Amino acid sequence: MILKFSISLVGALFSFGAFAQFETADLENSKNIILKLGEGQTKKSLVALPSIQFLGNPQINPDFQKLGIELYEVIQNDLLFSTFFQIIPSRNYLEDPSKTTLQKFDFDKWRQIGTEFLVRGGFKIIKDQIELEIYAYDVAQKSAVVSKKYLGNKRDVRRLAHTFSNDFVEALSGQKAFFLSKFVVSSDRSGSKTKEIYLMDWDARNLEQITFHKTISFSPNWSPDGKSILYSSFAQRKKTKTRNPDLFLYELASKKLQHFSYRIGMNTGAHFMPDGKNIILTLSQGNNADIYRLDLDGEISKKLTQGPLGAMNVEPSPSPIGDKIAFSTDRSGNPMIYVMDKNGGNPERITFAGKYNASPAWSPDGKKIAFAGWEVDHFDIFIINADKTNLKRITQAKKPGGKWSNNEDPVFSPDGRFLIYTSDRYGPKQILISNLDGSEERRITQDSYNYFRPKWSKNLD
């Protein structure tokens, strides 16, 4: 598609002490830019990204090099992962950035090497604060598209860099990027026989363990406001000392843990409805696994599926506006993806390929559904339109030994341009990210642990 938008050249001084207050000051005029953006591979804009200069006194700030490197690496990684940009190697530069200022340099020397956008940044250290001054220039127009200062604690250096990357991508595309978002995921990092729930930034940094049940905790999910996490766990019950796949609700700010649903049998695959007023999940009441809606007190308000004939109905996933629910069911024989109304009516089969389709996830615009499909001997990631058209395979990769890898647990990015999923192509199940046609795929986690059912936060600010 073609996006047209107006970029106001705005300079802003952000106070990130609490990341809440900010002041803005208008700079020059505005201009119109047209970029072609699509699901597939697009022409990448050539960006020159010189090192972030230190503008203070090295004698009293011995850690300036480490901070400068971290600022640079975060911005570089963000821009590369956006798939909009290709970074020009520094060996191609015709001008030494260290001998020019952030605002005075020769545009023509950058234009001669094909530079479309030039990012010039510098920073100061003031006690325990860091001030990042950074500009992104349109070289052809010889004008700035981003001109800002960011102020925050040194421990928030990555957030400052991510915030600039967000601003830059939004200025050029008119869409917010995801560089301040997070994942919640189950992992065996605490031991091979256990799984706990973890938070991490989208680039796998700032890892935080939030459960300590010392058992199997799985299928985490965000509340719509990003303030709470739902997950299931075999945590031991205090009174009976028994274990059951129960549902828990964890509040991130207060660290309050609520034992939310503890009916005998499965209490799994929970999702908040988009309005935050109800939760849908799979309960196994008796011998059947069906999808139910609970109110915020944990009480059943409606049974949404009724078998049929002992069928398993699992993995409910509400559409972005909450009018539909996708789920996996074996009512037609092999497990396939169905979509029903929010109250359980009009179930309709969406997928017809392969032997086993699981883990449906909606795109933010509600037009697509991603899922994991089993073919012969492995899972791959697929996308299909919600109207059952245009089925696409996204993954197809082999392990080093030549066997096909398993690619599972797809989730769309908050901006709808990417998918994350898990893959065992490297041995352990790692988190990968791909654009929507699979032409660009990158590994997010780089370790020897396993990750299961990652979910992407909706936070874009």
CATH topology of domain 2-173: Rossmann fold (3.40.50)
Residue 370 identity = A
Per-residue HEC secondary structure of the chain comes to CEEEEEEEEEEEEEECCCCCEEEEEEEEEEEEEEEECCCCCCCCEEEECCCCEECCCCCCCCCHHHHHHHHHHHHHHHHHHCCCEEECCHHHCCCCHHHCCCCCCCHHHHHCCCCCEEEEEEEEEECCEEEEEEEEEECCCCEEEEEEEEEEEHHHHHHHHHHHHHHHHHHHHCCCCCCCCEEEEEECCCCCCCEEEEEEECCCCCCEECCCCCCEEEEEEECCCCCEEEEEECCECCCCCCECCEEEEEECCCCCEEEEECCCCCEEEEEECCCCCCEEEEEEECCEEEEEEECCCCCEEEECCCCCCCCCEEEEEECCCCCEEEEEECCCCCCEEEEEECCCCCCEECCCCCCEEEEEEECCCCCEEEEEEEECCEEEEEEEECCCCCCEECCCCECCCCCECCEEEEEECCCCCEEEEEECCCCCCEEEEEECCCCCEEECCCCCCCEEEEEECCCCC
Tens-digit pLDDT profile for residues 422-443: 999 999 999 999 999 999 999 9
Residue 293: band (very low, low, confident or very high) from pLDDT cuts 50, 70, 90: very high
Percent over 70 (pLDDT), the chain: 90
Q: What is the pTM of this model?
A: 0.90
Strands 407-412 and 348-349: unpaired
Tens-digit pLDDT profile for residues 11-69: 332 222 222 222 323 333 333 343 444 444 468 999 999 999 999 888 888 889 999 99
Tens-digit pLDDT profile for residues 390-425: 999 999 999 999 999 999 999 999 999 999 999 999
Q: Looking at residues 374-386, what average pLDDT do you find? A: 95
Cβ neighbours of residue 281 closer than 8 Å, sequence gap 6 or more: 247, 261, 267, 268, 269, 270, 271, 291, 292, 294, 316
pLDDT value of residue 460: 58
Domain ranges of the chain: 2-173, 182-456
Q: What is the CATH number of domain 182-456?
A: 2.120.10.30
